[in-house]
Chain A
């Protein structure tokens, strides 16, 4: 039967309709029970937030109060934005107190800070958190919480000339950091209010350039191409007009804008691009600055990354600049020249083979850094045979094993990502180091679990049991603690009861660590994690932090699995400051929106 075009269309339309109805029917619609449960859970979260807010009064340090108000405001956003904004304002009021105290203390205690201005990290962290919710409010609070010293420093700010000593100058660094922060918030504000963002960025450009200009142009471009083009024209005009030799920071930022503009974007992006003529103007301006007789070595060190742009847009100046660069290097004293030559090894163009060739010439200390780099370079190699050949050339046996393990671990991750979970599982047996083995097992278990298939869930559990078997019986060292918490991370998703059971012993360890730190902090200023007997809170943590801040992801995963049970666990922290902040971390995890996997495997290959 041959169907004519209208008949085909009718079939297609009917098919699409049927498919849509079926798809609609499959979409889970919230049941009254689910609604009720959700409502109860929200109420529970709000009650916990209110409790954390009430706990603020017992905190001695204004920076801690600011963090608790800030985090609570962030978490309240989902339920009541007005209340959130009020909490953000409360946080800002605490920050005002904090910056005042901070200014006074640094002046009293450290004579080297008399001429310095600093903007404490907690202020930046809290305001950045606010900016993600309400950038305009963050901009307002940025001004409100700016210390008198910083305000004065901004007013007096004179950019560092390109010939200035490259020595670190904290007063100008703080000013530059504050300008960058303001521009970053303006960038966020552009999503809601492009007009305001344009005004702010223009005001900010009067104080100095920042690489934030480019993403801002992109944002405005997406909303209004003409406005973006006008702003770009104004920016280029300003670049052409200013004397680049007067500010090394401006020169650095404009060079950054140029190199970023040279990077190709994806064809689907509505990417902002300067016109060829504009890029030529910017490049010529920069090249002319570099050709000035009093260009400094600091300046010349930027040149290498700019040469591709100069070769393209100001080719007549490229040869002269290369010659100048060679002369600068040749004029260096012999020992500095050698350092300069050796420093090439750290450049992005150095290959794994180059690094291996350098190894015999290096001291033990240098070898350590080169091995770290080599490990990264080798794990980036796709060709397994080539990578293995390079690994075999590493002269030190122990390092050979270490790099091989790192390569194998990266291969396991790559196979898992490609959906070849069984292949990945087989490869784990070849790893010898406990940490790498546990990490690979947990990662793979989570990948199997993610497929949602019953059989895979069983495999995930088996993998986690294997990881658990590798765990230390008693936690004695930092490594033991990290490995245990990695296993907890896996179980938090796969079998929460086990995760909670394993976490119990860790709470004791964290208590012990926090208590010992507080004892040392009393008489040892090196332990700056406490002040006036109170733990200095952090909004986020990293691997170098105290265990309380290091294992935030695990606490959040457990909170997500069972909020009540996690709260009971949190109650076991001995110190009230630790309890307060830990509760907020847990709530953060509960309210966090699930991130969609970047590229979930289409199918699982066996």
Chain B
């Protein structure tokens, strides 16, 4: 009897499971079919967009469209993607030729363009490099302008010969004691811009070399040596870590080379070398967390090496009459030097104090515009508030207290935070600090999964925008837990946020709140998110059209040229309203790419429509990563 019953049960189970199995495989097949259809649809859309790119007037826009299309194509056809990247780099050359022609034509008609914010080259190369670093390096060399090459050569020459210090990580002369007189600034401005461009080029090249050398210790070692020949850069640390996993001896030897480079370089010549050396010391003196099980070992320098770097920096800071970028960096380096070479700190502090005194008594000619004091990252809010009490300049005082308020968010100790907040001399800033503290506390609770506690605390916030932001963040966290109850809570939190946000935005502040709410709905209840964005499309169209109109009357306008919207790879066209809200639009695209695409069809201008559609596809791809490659079958 028992056997009979068991057999029947077994048979039933077998039948049910085979039925379930059949259903599951059907569903999988259906999903695969749908995914395939979607892929085909995307490829068709991409092909259409690529063919439309030819109709664009501006070469830089063709670069953007071809680059983005290449990036999106990568998932479906890497060969075609590479071909698109190459075509885009050809358009970069066209852009450069056109820009040079314009530059020559415009001589004498206005202030020359020193830094073209619409140059798509660096963004394209970064995009290519993330897919294929070697191709990125190849296209980088192919599109490097003589001006950038000359600026790089100038930096190299500056390192090898005596002369004036140059900046690559920022404007030379900016900082305490810097000059801001009109003539003086003008005299150095273009040189600084060239140096910035060259610095950007060197950094990107290093990043691509690092990626290209990821799995090859020999290539990585070569890349480190090449990098050291160009200057001191933290880019070599990931390479050292990569080599360490495979060849510790080689890694240690290269680490010695890095230290030899730092100690053998005159750090007072090139700003980026000094910054690099300080960054290394910061890395060497950081608190090293215990490595997670199975995580790759991190490359670390020895204490003796750290002391060598600290000594080198100290000697540089103490040299007589150093350039302003050197004297302006002492405060930043002191906390690190103190950790490994405390005996040197007293002298440095004296020199720093003397420099600051000199900066106030003998800084530039006082036409205004000198930047307010930059607070040291190591300064505590208590120190900053105390210092603010002694500041008489209203702007500097407000900046100091604002810096202290910014730091309150990092404090977890409630009692200490309360003491600090109470010591702020202005009522509004006190309220702002309290709000910052509360908001960050809620963030921490949310991140730690203490969602109910976080939810209970939102009501205590006094700033409406903070309340909306926290409610939306909480709602998305609840939604992520993906139980029926949590989904309900998420929806109710957004209903609460909705009572705080405007029903329809009338100005910039309202739009910010409205779009924050939309960000939440795009995840929790996409249908509502689509209903919210729908009426905004007309506003977006009005805004783009008005921008196009005004650009005709403004030669220096950066959002349109020759009647065409100027596109960017990162951020679309940042001056134009709809592109400020790409995260929300991409979030909706993740939920329903078709519906978002139909919405994008309502953009009246074809340039805005084309670019927006690519961003929508990007959003969809990011939310729907390709399935992992099938696991290799275990050998029998």
Select one of A112, A170, A343, A517 contacting B183, CB under 8 A: A343
In the complex, the answer to whether B370 meets A334 with C-beta atoms within 8 Å is no
In the complex, the answer to whether B553 meets A365 with C-beta atoms within 8 Å is no
In the complex, the answer to whether B547 meets A520 with C-beta atoms within 8 Å is yes
Among A133-141, A197-205, A260-268, A295-303, the stretch in contact with B:
A295-303
A111 at the A/B interface (Cβ < 8 Å)?
Answer: yes
B396 at the A/B interface (Cβ < 8 Å)?
Answer: yes
Select one of A168, A368, A513, A517 contacting B369, CB under 8 A: A168
In the complex, the answer to whether B361 meets A333 with C-beta atoms within 8 Å is no
In the complex, the answer to whether A169 meets B366 with C-beta atoms within 8 Å is no
A342 at the A/B interface (Cβ < 8 Å)?
Answer: yes
In the complex, the answer to whether A522 meets B506 with C-beta atoms within 8 Å is yes
* CB within 8 Å of A: which B213-262 residues: none
Select one of A115, A165, A338 contacting B164, CB under 8 A: A338
Q: A339-B188, A342-B184, A476-B552 are in contact. Are A116 and B395 (CB under 8 A)?
A: yes
Residues on the B chain within 8 Å of A323, using CB = none
Residues on the A chain within 8 Å of B6, using CB = none
**Residue among A170, A294, A399 having the largest count of chain B Cβ atoms under 10 Å:** A170
* CB within 8 Å of B: which A319-338 residues: 328, 331-336, 338
Select one of A113, A167, A339 contacting B396, CB under 8 A: A167
Residues on the B chain within 8 Å of A15, using CB = none
B591 at the A/B interface (Cβ < 8 Å)?
Answer: no
Give, as a whole number of angstroms, the nearest-CB distance from A157 to chain B: 12
Give, as a whole number of angstroms, the nearest-CB distance from B375 to chain A: 15
How far apart sit A114 and B400, CA to CA, in the bound complex (Å)?
Answer: 12
Residues on the A chain within 8 Å of B411, using CB = none
Residues on the A chain within 8 Å of B552, using CB = 476-478
Residues on the A chain within 8 Å of B365, using CB = 166, 297-298, 301
Among B125-133, B171-179, B617-625, the stretch in contact with A:
B171-179
- B396 closest partner in A (C-beta): A167
Select one of B186, B369, B428 contacting A366, CB under 8 A: B186
Give, as a whole number of angstroms, the nearest-CB distance from A366 to chain B: 6
In the complex, the answer to whether A334 meets B164 with C-beta atoms within 8 Å is yes
Residues on the B chain within 8 Å of A369, using CB = 186
* CB within 8 Å of A: which B313-340 residues: 321-325, 327
Residues on the A chain within 8 Å of B186, using CB = 365-366, 369
Select one of A334, A346, A399, A522 contacting B321, CB under 8 A: A334
Binary CB contact string for chain A from 331 to 374 against chain B (1 if under 8 A, 0 otherwise): 11111101110111110000000000000000111111101000
B393 at the A/B interface (Cβ < 8 Å)?
Answer: yes
In the complex, the answer to whether B555 meets A478 with C-beta atoms within 8 Å is yes
B289 at the A/B interface (Cβ < 8 Å)?
Answer: no
Residues on the B chain within 8 Å of A114, using CB = 398, 401, 426, 428-429
Q: A111-B402, A333-B177, A364-B114 are in contact. Are A516 and B546 (CB under 8 A)?
A: yes
In the complex, the answer to whether B394 meets A115 with C-beta atoms within 8 Å is yes
Residues on the A chain within 8 Å of B23, using CB = none
* CB within 8 Å of A: which B340-367 residues: 359-367
Give, as a whole number of angstroms, the nearest-CB distance from A37 to chain B: 40
Residues on the B chain within 8 Å of A172, using CB = 394
How far apart sit A513 and B397, CA to CA, in the bound complex (Å)?
Answer: 40
Residues on the A chain within 8 Å of B432, using CB = 111
Residues on the A chain within 8 Å of B547, using CB = 516, 520
- A369 closest partner in B (C-beta): B186
Residues on the A chain within 8 Å of B185, using CB = 339
B191 at the A/B interface (Cβ < 8 Å)?
Answer: yes
How far apart sit A343 and B185, CA to CA, in the bound complex (Å)?
Answer: 9
Classify chain B's interface size. Answer: 35 or more
**Residue among B107, B109, B181, B189 having the largest count of chain A Cβ atoms under 10 Å:** B107
How far apart sit A236 and B185, CA to CA, in the bound complex (Å)?
Answer: 38
Give, as a whole number of angstroms, the nearest-CB distance from B153 to chain A: 16
In the complex, the answer to whether A398 meets B107 with C-beta atoms within 8 Å is yes
B40 at the A/B interface (Cβ < 8 Å)?
Answer: no
In the complex, the answer to whether B507 meets A335 with C-beta atoms within 8 Å is no
How far apart sit A402 and B401, CA to CA, in the bound complex (Å)?
Answer: 51
How far apart sit A334 and B327, CA to CA, in the bound complex (Å)?
Answer: 12
Give, as a whole number of angstroms, the nearest-CB distance from B472 to chain A: 20
Residues on the A chain within 8 Å of B397, using CB = 115
**Residue among B173, B367, B546 having the largest count of chain A Cβ atoms under 10 Å:** B546
Residues on the B chain within 8 Å of A335, using CB = 164-165, 172-173, 188, 323-325
How far apart sit A308 and B396, CA to CA, in the bound complex (Å)?
Answer: 37
A576 at the A/B interface (Cβ < 8 Å)?
Answer: no
Select one of B173, B183, B395, B399 contacting A336, CB under 8 A: B173
In the complex, the answer to whether A339 meets B395 with C-beta atoms within 8 Å is no
B451 at the A/B interface (Cβ < 8 Å)?
Answer: no
Give, as a whole number of angstroms, the nearest-CB distance from A86 to chain B: 36
In the complex, the answer to whether A167 meets B368 with C-beta atoms within 8 Å is yes
How far apart sit A171 and B398, CA to CA, in the bound complex (Å)?
Answer: 12
Binary CB contact string for chain A from 100 to 126 against chain B (1 if under 8 A, 0 otherwise): 000000010001111110000000000
How far apart sit A332 and B193, CA to CA, in the bound complex (Å)?
Answer: 24
How far apart sit A111 and B405, CA to CA, in the bound complex (Å)?
Answer: 11
Q: A163-B360, A167-B395, A523-B543 are in contact. Are A478 and B554 (CB under 8 A)?
A: yes
Select one of A248, A332, A345, A517 contacting B550, CB under 8 A: A517
B111 at the A/B interface (Cβ < 8 Å)?
Answer: yes
A57 at the A/B interface (Cβ < 8 Å)?
Answer: no
How far apart sit A515 and B398, CA to CA, in the bound complex (Å)?
Answer: 37
Q: A164-B360, A364-B112, A516-B546 are in contact. Are A339 and B554 (CB under 8 A)?
A: no
How far apart sit A259 and B615, CA to CA, in the bound complex (Å)?
Answer: 63
A383 at the A/B interface (Cβ < 8 Å)?
Answer: no
- B432 closest partner in A (C-beta): A111
How far apart sit A169 and B398, CA to CA, in the bound complex (Å)?
Answer: 11
In the complex, the answer to whether A363 meets B363 with C-beta atoms within 8 Å is no
Give, as a whole number of angstroms, the nearest-CB distance from A281 to chain B: 27
Q: A399-B107, A481-B553, A519-B542 are in contact. Are A365 and B395 (CB under 8 A)?
A: no
How far apart sit A520 and B403, CA to CA, in the bound complex (Å)?
Answer: 32
B508 at the A/B interface (Cβ < 8 Å)?
Answer: yes
16 A-B pairs besides A298-B365, A516-B549 with CB distance below 8 A are A111-B428, A112-B398, A165-B396, A167-B396, A332-B362, A334-B165, A334-B321, A335-B173, A335-B324, A339-B184, A339-B364, A363-B191, A368-B111, A479-B555, A522-B508, A523-B511
Pairs of residues from A and B, 7 with the lowest C-beta to C-beta distance, nearest first: A166-B366, A339-B184, A343-B183, A168-B368, A298-B366, A363-B190, A365-B190
Interface residues, chain B, with chain A CB atoms under 8 Å away: 104, 107-112, 114, 164-165, 172-173, 177-179, 181-191, 193-194, 321-325, 327, 359-370, 372, 392-399, 401-402, 426, 428-429, 432, 506-508, 511, 539, 542-543, 545-547, 549-550, 552-555, 577
Q: List 12 A-B contacts (CB under 8 A).
A: A111-B429, A114-B398, A169-B392, A170-B395, A297-B361, A333-B177, A333-B323, A334-B164, A366-B189, A402-B109, A517-B550, A520-B546
